[in-house]
Amino acid sequence: MASRDGDRVVALSQQLAQAHQELRRQISEIRTSLGRRRLSDDVLVTHCLAFCAALTSHHQGEDNGMFSELLRERPDLAATVAKLVEDHELIASILSRVSELADRAAESRGSALESIGGELDGLAAIMESHFSYEERTISKALDDGIPDTGWSGMVFEFGLS
């Protein structure tokens, strides 16, 4: 199944890959900014929290919508979806730590930013593995068609700029 992107039809697997690429770009930009301190601490914290919210929204859209519909159409993918949901739980725990550190950094300035950088390094590695696995294992099933019951907005258009 596909949806419209402007005047062209875009496969769901391609939209998923584009969403993942945007999330990769965002975390890379934040990590680079943290390493070089190109932005003020307040701006870095704001960007970090916005990224955490976007990744959380993306995964909630997958868990609560896309995966449910995918399993209705392809129950044979239950083990794959279970692995992806497990990854989401791991990622959510890291995002929780990042949010806590960002809150501390906003109050104390400085030292918590290094800790955020370490968490983001680990998160980026897990995200890369997760996104690659997800794209490899469910792309064909997505393109074969699953109903969009409103889940696509959270999965594909999570408000990052």
pLDDT tens sequence across 75-113: 999 999 999 999 999 999 999 999 888 888 777 755 677
| Coil, helix or strand at residue 53 | helix
Query: Are 143 and 11 spatial neighbours (Cβ–Cβ below 8 Å)?
Result: yes
Instruction: Report helix, strand or coil for 110.
Output: coil
* Residue 158 in domain: no
Residue indicated by tokens 């992107």:
5
Q: What angle do CA 127, 131, 134 make, to 5 degrees?
A: 140
Confidence of residue 5 (pLDDT cuts 50, 70, 90): very low
Residue 63 has a pLDDT of 96
Strand residue runs (E) in 2-161: 2-5, 8-11
Mean pLDDT within 36-49: 76
* Segments forming the whole domain that contains residue 61: 2-144
Q: What is the pLDDT of residue 104?
A: 81
pLDDT of 36 > 80? The answer is: no
Give the number of other Cβ atoms within 10 Å of residue 60's Cβ: 16
Whether residue 152 lies inside any domain: the answer is: no
Is it the case that residue 65 has pLDDT exceeding 60?
yes
What's the whole-model pTM score? 0.86
Residue 157 lies in a domain: no
- CATH code for the domain of 137: 1.20.120.520
Average pLDDT of the segment spanning 9-36: 88
Q: What share of the chain is helix, strand, coil (3-state, %, to 5)?
A: 80, 5, 15
Instruction: Evaluate whether residue 139 is within a structural domain.
Output: yes
Residue 140 belongs to some domain of the structure: yes
Q: For position 55, what pLDDT does the model report?
A: 95
Residue 154 inside a domain? The answer is: no
Residue 125's Cα: distance from chain center in Å? 12
Q: Evaluate whether residue 156 is within a structural domain.
A: no
Please check whether residue 67 lies inside any domain of the structure. Answer: yes
Q: How many separate domains does the chain show?
A: 1
Q: Which residues of 21-54 are buried (b: 16+ CB within 10 A; e: fewer)?
A: ebbeebbeebbebbeeeeeebeebbebbbebbeb
